[in-house]
Chain A
Amino acid sequence: MRAVGHIYADADHQREAARLAMWLFLVTEVLLFGGLFLAYAVYRWQYPASFAAASRKLDLWLGAINTLVLIGSSLTMVLAHQAAELRRSAALAIFLAATILLGGTFLGIKSAEYAHKFHEHLVPGTHFVWSTADAQGSAADAGSAQIFFVLYFVLTGLHASHMIIGMLVLLVLLVMTLTAAQPPALSVELAGLYWHFVDIVWIFLFPLLYLIGLHV
């Protein structure tokens, strides 16, 4: 452990301050995503039929598989934290690499979904196409279906960018583990807090985006 800053009583005090700072950052993240979840709630209240019809356009199984992939990455992340606490460098490297790999798997599946949406003209904008057959006899119209896809791309895009940032942080920790001295356990713990937060965001995104279309 590095030297304790003079404003702290001891090393535990310093670690607790770092944890608190990370949690405060996560609070601001909750409010960032919270605003978008609010936009989703307001528009879904207004256009329930359109949101259901648009949601049926998403691949439920790809969404479910990605949920399992992300939960798996949270497991490897917490095991990496445990390995860092126990100062087991080999295990730390393996679990960090596994977490990055699972994150990459998630993003790979996500980008395949995005490509499919471009192919089907479901990306909001001038090329958006919504046929009456898509509505399946409900009151869904192109304008409000497009609102669903705006929220889909903004929410999943913001989530994916958080994952990319998280993977870069984990990559730095992995390189530190493999080359120089093992990173402080606290660094792995704080990176883990961020990673698990991103997992929690997806836990709510999955049902709200993929599952609401089956029964309104």
Chain B
Amino acid sequence: MTAAAHSTGRYLLVFAALVVLTLVTVGAAQVDLGGANVGVALAIAGFKASLVLLFFMHASTSSRLIWGTIGAACLWLVLLIGLTMVEVATRSQLRAAAANHSSTHSLGAVPPPDSPAGGFASGR
């Protein structure tokens, strides 16, 4: 990078911001925010990572091709974790809904799976 020559001050500023944000995240963890604690910690971590990415890794002055590459990594990470967590978080609700559905609409014909009298196992 040709801009490297005049950047010492900016690097020190980014470093100072990262140190302050580390102390902020340790401080925020001491305060009870309920379920929001994880969200706050991840938001601060995301901001710190952006500072490293933009200034230490020079993404701010990189080509659009490299921006696209970084974007692709972020997109796949969001799909991987986001979509999986949508499934995990709603799994128990779906199971409850399915159980509810079968008990109200099947005229009580479906016995519990471990019932000795029910299903195809009764002939044995």
Interface residues of A (CB under 8 A from B): 16, 19-20, 23-24, 26-27, 30-31, 34-35, 37-38, 41-42, 45-46, 60, 64, 67-68, 71-72, 74-75, 77-79, 81-82, 85-86, 189, 192-193, 196-197, 199-200, 203-204, 206-208, 211-212, 214-216
Contact = CB atoms under 8 A, between A and B. Distances in A.
A202 B51 CA distance: 14
Given A78-B11, A215-B37, A85 B1 contact: yes
Given A19-B66, A42-B88, A196-B52, A34 B81 contact: yes
B29 A207 contact: yes
A75 B5 CA distance: 15
Contacts, number: 136
Contacts of B84: 38, 41-42
Contact of B45 (A24, A26, A203): A203
A74 B64 CA distance: 24
Main secondary structure of the interface of B (DSSP, over half): helix
Interface in B76-124: 76-77, 80-81, 84-85, 88-89
A52 B112 CA distance: 36
A82 B5 contact: yes
A82 B7 contact: yes
B49 A200 contact: yes
Contact of B80 (A20, A34, A189, A193): A34
A207 B25 contact: yes
B100 to A, nearest CB: 23
Interface residues on chain B, size class: 35 or more
Nearest to A45: B88
A31 B80 contact: yes
Given A23-B66, A212-B41, A81 B4 contact: yes
Contacts of B80: 31, 34-35, 38
B48 A203 contact: yes
Given A45-B89, A71-B22, 14 more contacts: A23-B69, A34-B76, A38-B81, A42-B84, A75-B12, A78-B55, A79-B8, A85-B1, A192-B57, A197-B57, A200-B53, A203-B45, A207-B45, A212-B37
Contacts of B66: 19-20, 23
A175 to B, nearest CB: 23
A138 to B, nearest CB: 15
| A82, A199, A211 pick with most chain B CB within 10 angstroms | A211
A67 B24 CA distance: 13
A214 B30 CA distance: 6
B26 A68 contact: no
B82 to A, nearest CB: 10
A77 B7 CA distance: 13
Contacts of B49: 200, 203-204
Contact of A215 (B2, B29, B45, B69): B29
